[in-house]
Amino acid sequence: MKTLGIIPARYDSTRFPGKPLVDLEGKTMIRRVYERASQGVDVAVVATDDARIESEVKRFGGNVVMTAKHHSTGTNRCLEAFDIWTEKSGDTYDIIVNVQGDEPLLDPASLRTIIQPFTDMECEMATLVTHVTNAADLESSNNVFVTLDQNGKALYFSRHPIPFVRGYDRSEWLKRADFYRHIGLYAFRPCALRSFASMAMGELEKAESLEQLRWLESGRALYCGIVNEISVSVDTPEDADAVRALLNL
């Protein structure tokens, strides 16, 4: 299977403007993401709407395409980048991975994990999850939880911890059931990416504000790969400092 990793990178950010170009121990964040992604997919491409980011990617010898500034979802930006790159390169791909552009410590093994479900020809879309091992994580409003069927496919995603363990205090839930936290990395077959990008928002998505629910609500299967290592997202200058400290270990 030939794989393409698309890395969306926008300059504008409410909490951290220009973060793709922040220096992390001698390399910009977008360069670190690109280099790590390149170890997990056949070809990596940065998708940006900013000439400064485009210039930086060209400077270090990476692949980059310019996309429109306004997209309703990251999936739509990923589709535009895919169409531009395939027309430009003339290449075809079996799997497209939408790589987070703010995870400079991305483990390339995570990309290989998300690609693995596509050995099943029925797999159209996949994502990553990790076991919840800390009860405090069940209390965080920043986490998205998912329940899985016996074949590793998603049953439902929620901002509320699921499943609900009846009759026990939440501090006891991890002893009574398996909990999984969603990691926002997606992979698609090209036809599935196009289908997903054109889907109307469903009622479940409106309720939870989770884009992936439109896929489940339409009756399609979402395969889940399980990983242990969690990458560090850079959302604030303080997060960048934390990454620098990890790079210096």
CATH classification of 120-183+191-230 is 3.90.550.10, yes or no? yes
Q: What is the pTM for the complete model shown?
A: 0.92
pLDDT at 59: 98
Q: What is the pLDDT of residues 142-196, one digit of tens each?
A: 899 999 999 999 999 999 999 999 999 999 999 999 999 999 899 999 999 999 9
pLDDT at 233: 86
Among candidate residues 127, 141, 158, 140, the one with its CA nearest the CA of residue 227: 127
Residue pair 62/132 in contact by the 8 Å Cβ criterion: no
SS3 10: coil
Q: What is the pLDDT of residues 65-92, one digit of tens each?
A: 999 887 777 788 899 999 999 999 999 9
Say whether pLDDT at 13 is over 80: no
Q: What is the pLDDT of residues 199-219, one digit of tens each?
A: 999 999 999 999 999 999 999
Among the CATH numbers 3.10.310.30, 3.90.550.10, 3.40.50.300, 3.40.120.10, which is that of 1-106?
3.90.550.10
Instruction: State the pairing for strand pair 125-131/23-24.
Output: unpaired
Region label for 66, one of left (φ > 0), alpha (ψ between -120 and 50) or beta (otherwise): beta
Among candidate residues 149, 177, 154, 157, the one with its CA nearest the CA of residue 165: 177
pLDDT at 235: 87
Give the whole-angstrom CA distance, residue 3 versus residue 94. 6
List CB contacts of 60: < 8 A, sequence separation 6 or more: 28, 31, 34
Spell out the domain ranges in the chain. Answer: 1-106, 120-183+191-230
According to DSSP, residue 222 is labeled -
Kindly tell me the sign of the dihedral angle through the C-alpha atoms of 35, 28, 17, 239. Answer: positive
Say whether pLDDT at 226 is over 90: yes
What are residue 182's DSSP bridge partners? Answer: 129
